[in-house]
Chains A and B, each alone.
Chain A
C-alpha cells in the first residue's frame, strides 16, 4: 500500500519560514493537499492540488510538489500557526494521509 511519510515534529522561531515535508513514491505525479489541525478542533484545508490556497487561508501558506516530496511552507510563521499538519494524496483508489507533523513555534 502507498505510504506518505512526514517528520513527527518541526520547530520554527516566530517570523521565520517553516517547511513541512511529505514524501512518497513518485508523489510529484499526484495531487497533494494539506490540512491544519489545532488541539480539539477539526482539520481545515490550507493547500489543495499542490499549490492552491482556499479562500480565507493567509498568503503565508504555500505548497510545492515535485519528485518524491511535497512541501508545505509557512512564511513569517506566527504563534497561531502552531498545530499538527497532515498531507493527503490519492493512490490506487485509496485516500492516503501522512502521519502528521507537529509544528512548534518557539
Chain B
C-alpha cells in the first residue's frame, strides 16, 4: 500500500521560503509515476502547484511557476517543494500525491493516493 507523508515547518515568515518534503513508502518515486503538490487555502478549493517525474521533467501552475521549485531525491524516496517569497496568500494545507501519466501522450491524469496534508501558515 502506497503511503505519502508531508512534513515541514508549520509557520513561515512572509518573504521567506516554504520548504516541504513528501516521504513515499510502498512505492519508488522512480516507478513511472509523476508526483505532485496541491494546496488548499482555508475554506477554498484545490489548487495544483506542480508535478515532477523522477527524471526531473516537471510541470508547474503558470500562476506559481516563477516562485516554485519541485525536486526528487531517489536515494531518500522523497519529493520536495520550495515556494519562494511567500505571503499570507500562501497559507494553506499542502498535499503531495502520486499522479498517473497516460502512456505515449504526456497527459498527466489523476492523483491517487494523496498524503494527509500539512498545514502551513505564513505569518510574522
Binding site for B on A (CB under 8 A): 1, 31, 33, 35, 42-45, 48-49, 54, 86, 88, 90, 93-100
Interface flag for B102 (CB, 8 Å): yes
A34 to B38 alpha-carbon distance, docked (Å):
15
Q: Are A45 and B46 in contact (CB under 8 A)?
A: no
With contacts A31-B102, A95-B36, A100-B45 taken as known, whether A90 is within 8 angstroms of B107 at the C-beta atoms is: yes
With contacts A31-B102, A94-B62, A97-B47 taken as known, whether A42 is within 8 angstroms of B110 at the C-beta atoms is: no
Pick from B48, B51, B59, B109: contact of A97, CB under 8 Å: B48
Looking at B36, B46, B113, which has the most chain A CB atoms within 10 Å of its CB?
B46
Q: Which residues of B contact A45 (CB under 8 A)?
A: 110-113
Q: Which residues of B contact A94 (CB under 8 A)?
A: 48, 59, 61-62
| Contact stretch, chosen from B13-21, B74-82, B114-122 | B114-122
Q: Are B46 and A100 in contact (CB under 8 A)?
A: yes
- Apart from A45-B112, A99-B45: 10 A-B pairs, beta carbons within 8 A: A33-B110, A43-B95, A43-B111, A44-B114, A45-B113, A86-B46, A88-B46, A94-B48, A95-B59, A98-B45
Binding site for A on B (CB under 8 A): 36, 38, 45-48, 51, 59, 61-62, 95, 100, 102, 106-117
A44 to B110 alpha-carbon distance, docked (Å):
10
A1 to B64 alpha-carbon distance, docked (Å):
14
Q: Are A42 and B115 in contact (CB under 8 A)?
A: yes
- Report the minimum CB–CB distance from B112 to chain A (whole Å): 4
Q: Are A42 and B102 in contact (CB under 8 A)?
A: no
A31 to B99 alpha-carbon distance, docked (Å):
14
A86 to B45 alpha-carbon distance, docked (Å):
8
- Report the minimum CB–CB distance from B36 to chain A (whole Å): 7
Q: Which residues of B contact A95 (CB under 8 A)?
A: 36, 48, 51, 59, 61, 108
A49 to B107 alpha-carbon distance, docked (Å):
11
A96 to B104 alpha-carbon distance, docked (Å):
21
A1 to B48 alpha-carbon distance, docked (Å):
14
Question: Quick one: closest A residue to B49, CB to CB?
Answer: A95
